Amino acid sequence: MIPFRLTATAALSIALVALFANPNVAVAEGRPAEPATAESNRAWLGRLPFADMQAFEDAQRGFIAAPASPVLTAADGRTVWDGRAYGFESNAEAPPTVNPSLWRQARLNNAAGLFKVTERVFQIRGMDLANMTIVEGDSGLIVIDPLLSAETARAGLDLYYSHRPRKPVAAVIYTHSHVDHFGGVKGVIDAADAASGKVKVIAPSGFLEEAVSENVLAGNAMSRRAQYMYGSLLPKSATGQVDAGLGKGLSRGTITLIAPNDTIAEPIERRRIDGIDIEFQLTPGTEAPSEMNLYLPQLRVLNIAENAVHTQHNLLTLRGAKVRDAKTWSSYLGQTLLRYGRDAEILVGQHHWPTWGKEKIASLLGDQRDMYAYLNDQALRLANQGYTPMDIAERLQKLPEPLASRWYARDYYGSISHNVRAVYQRYLGFYDGNPASLNPLPPVQSARKTIEWMGGPDAVLEKARASYRQGDYRWVAQVVNQLVFADPDNKAARELQADALEQLGYQSENSTWRNAYLTGAQELRKGIAPIPRQSTASADMVRAMSVPMYFDYLSVRLNADKAAGKSMTVNWVFTDIGEKYAMTLSNAALTFLPGALHDKPTVTVTLTKAALDDIGTARQSLGDALKQGTVKVAGDGAALGSLFTMLDTFSPNFAVVTPAGGF
C-alpha cells in the first residue's frame, strides 16, 4: 500500500466515474418489455404534449457543423467519446423498452456539433455531458465551461476554429464547481498562460475549494453509486443506457484543472473582457455551492449556468451528496428573472439548447423558480402533518398544471419522488419519527427473519412470480430484495429481482432511475464487472487539494479496530508552503491541528507539499521519497509506518444489490 495515495474514487469529483467503465466487459442485451410495461409506456403518449416540436427546432437552430469525427480518442488510444453509440435513437417512435418521454429527451440530447446562438456567441454541444460556450471578443475568445475532458474540449475548440477566425483564447470562465464544467480546461489553454496572467481564468468565490473538496471524504461510495446513476457499465441500447438527462453521458478523457487567477466575489460584478461587457451574478448554494450566472448586455444574452435546464434538476443526486437548498435555488431564479427578464432576448445554459424570446425566457425561469419552491414548500407542508418521506413522495407524484406539462419541468434527471425526500432529509434528517424506524435490524438480519416469517424462499418466490405476472414490479422488487439479501446465492431470486428492476427501468421517465434499475438488473445476472483502478487519478485535482483535505481523508480511512489501544503524535512540517500540523492518534480517532506542533512528538515528518503531491499521484513512493531525502523523518519512523498499516483501502466495486461484505 502507498501511504497518502488518494484513489481517484476518493480524491476526484464524482464525474470521473465514467472512467471506471470497463469497455472490455461483455454485457448481455436486456429482455423484452413485458405487456404491462409496453402498455404503461404507451399510456404516456396521452399524458404529455408530444405534438409540440419546438424543442427539436431549438436544438437544431444555428447548427453549423457536426464534429469532425464522431469518435474521440486519448493519447493512449482509448475511446473518450463515441458519437455513434446512440445511433439506435434515430427512430422518432420509442421502443417498448423506453419511456416515450425519456426517449424524446434522449433524441434531443443527440444534437451535436458547433452551433451559432447569435452574433459573437457559439456553443459546442453533444460532445460531452455539458456545453462549452464561446464568445467572440474584439481580439480573442472567451470560453465558458471547457467541458469535462481535455480531449473533448480541444476537439470542440478545433471544430470552432475550422469554421470561425482563429482568435486566441483570452479568457476562460468557470460558471460553477462541478467537474464537467472545468475538467477540459487544458484542452483550450496552457497553464503557463494562466499563471502569467496572459489568459484570465475567472470563477465564482469559493470555486477552487468546492471543486476539489466535493465528494472527497465519501468519494468511493459516491463513485460506485454514480455507476448506477449514469449507467456507465450498461450497453448503449434500447434495453440499456439511452441518456443521462442533462446530456448523453460523461466523456472518458483527461481531467484537468487550472486554478482561477481572477475571482468574482461580490453578489453583482461587472467586467469588460476583450470588448465584451459581462455582468456576473453570484448564486451560491443553488445547483452548486459555488455558482454564478452571466449577463452580456451588448448581446442581450443571459447565461444561466446550470441553474435552469431543460429538465427538473436534483436536490439530492442518486450518487449521494449534500442536499441542495430548493428555497435558495428558487429565490435566485426569481432574482435573475427580475434583474434580467426585461432585457434578455436569449437564454443559454451550460447544458441543453438555448431559449429565444423574452416571453419564453420568462416562462422557463418563472416555472423553474416555482418548481423548486413547490417541491420545498409542499414537502414541508406534508412533513408538518406527520407524513414520512415515502408518504410525501407517494402523495406528490405530479407537479401542478400547467407546470406538469412543461417539458423542462419533467423528471429526466431529478425527480419529484427523490427531490421531496431530499427536502425532508435537509430539514428533518434520516429518522421519520416513528420509534419502530429508530433502530431496525440491519438489512441481512431483517431479510432472513422476513423470509422465514413469510414461509420460506419457495413460498416467497411463488407469490412474487404471481405479482410479476400481474405487472406489480415495484412490489416484486421490494419483496424479492429481501430474499436476495437473505440468500444472495439464490439464483431464482436474483433472476426475478433482476426481471422486476428491468421492467421498472423500461418504464421510468427519469434517466438516472432507469440507469440505476438496469445496472442493478445487470449485476444481479452477471455479477459486478471488473472496474479498473488505474489511469483515473487526475494529477491536477490531487495537487489542488489542501493539506487538511489529505489529512481528513486519512482520518476517514483509519480502521478503528486496528487503531484500538494505540496512540501517537505526529508533527508535519511543510517547508515550501510554511505550514505545520500537529496530528494525534488516540481513542481510534485521527485528528490534527493546523498551525501547531507537539512538544514531544512520536515522530516528525518534514517535506514539501510538492513531495506530498508526488506521493498522492503515485509518481513517487514514500520509500523512494525517504531515500531521496524529499521526505525526512525524525523520531520513531516505525510508528509512522504502523500508522499507515491501520488505514483501509477502499474497493471501487463493493456490492449494491446484494449484501455488502462482512454480513
Give percent of the chain with pLDDT exceeding 90.
87
Domain membership of residue 602 as a residue range: 545-645
Residue 653 lies in a domain: no
Q: Over the stretch 42-93, which tens digit does the pLDDT of each residue have?
A: 999 999 999 999 999 999 999 999 999 999 999 999 999 999 999 999 999 9
Residue 140 to residue 200: CA distance in whole angstroms: 11
Residue 540 to residue 408: CA distance in whole angstroms: 35
Instruction: Name the CA dihedral angle for 479, 485, 489, 492, rounded to a multiple of 10 degrees.
Output: 0
Q: Which residues pair with 606 in a beta bridge?
A: 573, 632
With a cut of 60, say whether residue 459 has pLDDT above it: yes
Q: Over the stretch 607-629, which tens digit does the pLDDT of each residue have?
A: 999 999 888 878 888 889 989 99
Asked if residue 470 and residue 508 are part of one domain, the reply reads yes
What cell numbers appear for 385 in the block? Answer: 402533518
The pLDDT assigned to 373 comes to 98
4: left (phi over 0), alpha (psi -120 to 50) or beta: left
Q: How confident is the model at residue 301 (pLDDT cuts 50, 70, 90)?
A: very high
Residues 6 or more apart in contact with residue 62 via CB below 8 angstroms: 115, 116, 117
The pLDDT assigned to 661 comes to 72
Asked if residue 470 and residue 361 are part of one domain, the reply reads no
Which of these ranges, 371-375, 463-467, 618-622, has the smallest mean pLDDT?
618-622
Asked if residue 50 and residue 97 are part of one domain, the reply reads yes
549: left (phi over 0), alpha (psi -120 to 50) or beta: alpha
Q: Over the stretch 206-216, which tens digit does the pLDDT of each residue have?
A: 999 999 887 78
CATH number, residue 192: 3.60.15.30
Asked if residue 587 and residue 469 are part of one domain, the reply reads no
Residue 401 lies in a domain: no
CATH number, residue 613: 3.30.1050.10
Looking at 344, 370, 396, the residue that finishes a domain is 370
Distances (CA, A) of 191 to 147, 172, 370, 421, 494: 16, 12, 41, 42, 51
With a cut of 50, say whether residue 476 has pLDDT above it: yes
Looking at 322, 353, 370, the residue that finishes a domain is 370
Instruction: Name the CA dihedral angle for 11, 352, 501, 393, rounded to a multiple of 10 degrees.
Output: 90
Q: Which of 185, 180, 174, 184 is nearest to 208 (CA)?
A: 174
Residue 496 lies in a domain: yes
Average pLDDT of the segment spanning 26-33: 75
Residue 78 lies in a domain: yes
Q: Over the stretch 561-596, which tens digit does the pLDDT of each residue have?
A: 999 999 999 999 999 999 999 999 999 999 999 999
Helices (H), 558-636: 560-563, 609-616, 622-628
Total tally of structural domains belonging to the chain? 3
Residue 382 to residue 377: CA distance in whole angstroms: 9
Residue 372 to residue 263: CA distance in whole angstroms: 28
Asked if residue 549 and residue 521 are part of one domain, the reply reads no
Asked if residue 467 and residue 327 are part of one domain, the reply reads no
What cell numbers appear for 435 in the block? Answer: 420509534
With a cut of 90, say whether residue 390 has pLDDT above it: yes
AA identity, residue 141: L
The angle subtended at Cα 240 by Cα 234 and Cα 246, nearest 5°, is 85
With a cut of 60, say whether residue 432 has pLDDT above it: yes
**Is 385 exposed, middle or buried, given 0-12, 13-18 or 19+ CB atoms closer than 10 A?**
exposed
The pLDDT assigned to 529 comes to 84
With a cut of 60, say whether residue 167 has pLDDT above it: yes
285: left (phi over 0), alpha (psi -120 to 50) or beta: left
Asked if residue 503 and residue 606 are part of one domain, the reply reads no
With a cut of 50, say whether residue 454 has pLDDT above it: yes
Asked if residue 589 and residue 616 are part of one domain, the reply reads yes
Distances (CA, A) of 220 to 168, 217, 228, 662: 39, 8, 13, 18
What cell numbers appear for 156 in the block? Answer: 470542440
Residue 408 lies in a domain: no
Asked if residue 512 and residue 552 are part of one domain, the reply reads no
Average pLDDT of the segment spanning 465-471: 98
Asked if residue 638 and residue 572 are part of one domain, the reply reads yes
559: left (phi over 0), alpha (psi -120 to 50) or beta: beta
What count of other Cβ atoms lies within 10 Å of the Cβ of residue 435?
7
Average pLDDT of the segment spanning 115-126: 98
Helix (H) / strand (E) element for 392: namely helix 389-395
Residue 160 to residue 157: CA distance in whole angstroms: 5
For the chain, the distance separating the N- and C-terminal CA atoms, rounded to the nearest angstrom, is 25
Asked if residue 513 and residue 551 are part of one domain, the reply reads no
Q: Which of 406, 375, 368, 407 is nearest to 393 (CA)?
A: 375
Mean predicted lDDT score pLDDT of the chain = 93
Asked if residue 244 and residue 328 are part of one domain, the reply reads yes
Residue 364 lies in a domain: yes
CATH number, residue 492: 1.25.40.880
Q: Using omega within 30 degrees of 0 as the cis cutoff, is the peptide bond preceding 402 cis?
A: yes
Residue 26 lies in a domain: yes
Looking at 494, 526, 558, the residue that finishes a domain is 526
Residue 663 lies in a domain: no
Residue found by looking up cell 413469510 in the block = 454
Q: How confident is the model at residue 532 (pLDDT cuts 50, 70, 90)?
A: low
Q: How confident is the model at residue 538 (pLDDT cuts 50, 70, 90)?
A: confident
DSSP letter for 59, please. H
